[in-house]
Amino acid sequence: MDLLNTLVDKGLRRELPTREEALAVLATSDDELLDVVAAAGKVRRKWFGRRVKLNYLVNLKSGLCPEDCSYCSQRLGSKAEILKYTWLKPEDASKAAAAGIAGGAKRVCLVASGRGPTDRDVDRVSKTIEAIKEGNEGVEVCACLGLLSDGQADRLRAAGADAYNHNLNTSEATYGDITTTHTYADRVETVRQAHAAGMSACSGLIAGMGESDADLVDVVFSLRELDPDSVPVNFLIPFEGTPLGKEWNLTPQRCLRILAMVRFVCPDVEVRLAGGREVHLRTMQPLALQIANSIFLGDYLTSEGQEGKADLAMIADAGFEVEGAGTTTLPEHRADAVAAGCGSHAASGCGSHAGGGCGPCGGGGAAAEEPAEAAVPAATGAGAGEARTDLVAVRRRGAGTDLPPNA
């Protein structure tokens, strides 16, 4: 297939595909699926070999959120019967993190629901970061606390945060249909603040919310323009009691095409197979490892994931290896830029921009200029996914409970 040969060549050179090429990946048939996976796998192996990075989530504060994000079980007005608790003490959060680290995780993601942290919240999280790092030398810590105010990113970095996560989630054009209590621009600004403070930026998307193919391409091109080091690809978990609880738009095949498109657009970036993989990819999760080089181990924020030991067995059976603590995840050209504390803006000339703008941001601004006819409904030609409500299990163990975590 000429398309796939072109995309592999571009991926090996860190060259941005066109929007038409990205859309064409999403439009491939099921008969072509294994070819798409194999092509994306060549790009993945070029930059990340056969390593799989494990990440572990600790939900510092569950529920009680004033924002109205339609996809979220913790949103204002959510009737999902999730765990609700206020801030974990640093020692309790550190204990929860230790379980994930013992299972092989090299990054701990500290997440708290809410619009954004107060200065007191930043103090709490800073103490938690210090507690985790004190007992686990070399572990990476990523904070995910919502929208940041002036100076908060610098304080988190000073406390030892290696990264900050804030997802764009969907395209700018459709963002207002998903959330009304903050804007797409607010999210972009927080990612930029994290970059400016010297943290590694982590920003991704949620697929399966009824978006079009064009929306998916838009958000991934926007992410490439922001130049995060890691891009989590989430697949909507339709929680009963949320506005999107009836949305079952994904098939395993479509999930693989979405992952492949992300890999081609972001070839040298840590692509993380994130929430919803068990629900929508199901038995095809091992194929996704051919494309993604990072996963979350065990449970998620409010839902239970695959057993940690099953994750490890899946990685081994697929012929991959867990990335060790002493291994640098990112390719050398990106890792050097992170170590130097460089931001992502083209004027900086650092990271993947060295060499004429062929890195993850090069040409991303062209996304807004494409014609409207590219907006093909997501379900067109893909088939709606079967509703598997039996696979949506609310988390009842780990942080905020007396039961041991899944790690």
Residue ranges per domain, the chain? Answer: 2-391
230-235/163-165 β-pairing: unpaired
- Nearest of 242, 105, 262, 85 to residue 168 by alpha carbon: 262
Q: How far apart are CA 318 and CA 316, in angstroms?
A: 5
Q: How far apart are CA 337 and CA 393, in angstroms?
A: 40
CATH pick for 2-391 out of 3.10.20.30, 3.20.20.80, 3.40.50.880, 3.20.20.70:
3.20.20.70
What is the secondary structure of 159-173 as a DSSP string?
A: HT--EEE---BS-TT
Q: How far apart are CA 407 and CA 397, in angstroms?
A: 11
Confidence tier at 342 by pLDDT (50, 70, 90): low
Q: What is the dihedral of CA 330, 334, 337, 338, to 10 degrees?
A: -30
pTM to 2 decimals?
A: 0.89
Confidence tier at 407 by pLDDT (50, 70, 90): confident
| Predicted confidence (pLDDT) per residue in 89-115, tens digit | 999 999 999 999 999 999 999 999 999
Angle CA 315–318–322, to nearest 5:
30
What is the secondary structure of 279-319 as a DSSP string?
A: HHTGGGHHHHTTT-SEEE-S--SSB--S-HHHHHHHHHHTT
Adjacent-strand bridge partners of 141 = 108
Q: How far apart are CA 319 and CA 257, in angstroms?
A: 21
C-alpha distance from residue 342 to each of 107, 200, 309, 354 (Å): 21, 9, 37, 12
Burial class (CB in 10 A: 0-12, 13-18, 19+), 127: middle
For 46, residues 6+ apart whose C-beta sits below 8 A from its C-beta are: 11, 12, 267
| Predicted confidence (pLDDT) per residue in 368-404, tens digit | 333 333 333 334 334 577 889 989 998 999 999 999 9
pLDDT at 85 over 70: yes
Which tokens hold the place of 243? 């506005």
Q: What b/e readout covers 271-281, taking b as 16+ CB neighbours within 10 angstroms?
A: bbbbbbbbbbb
pLDDT at 148 over 50: yes
SS3 193: helix
Q: What is the percentage of the chain residues whose pLDDT exceeds 90?
A: 81
Number of residues that make up the chain: 407
pLDDT at 75 over 60: yes
Adjacent-strand bridge partners of 296 = 55
Question: Can you give the pLDDT at residue 349?
Answer: 30
Annotated binding-site residue numbers for [2Fe-2S] cluster: 109, 142, 202, 272
What are the residue numbers of the active site?
Answer: 65, 69, 72, 109, 142, 202, 272
Adjacent-strand bridge partners of 230 = 202, 270
pLDDT at 51 over 60: yes
Cβ(330)–Cβ(338) below 8 Å: yes
Annotated binding-site residue numbers for [4Fe-4S] cluster: 65, 69, 72
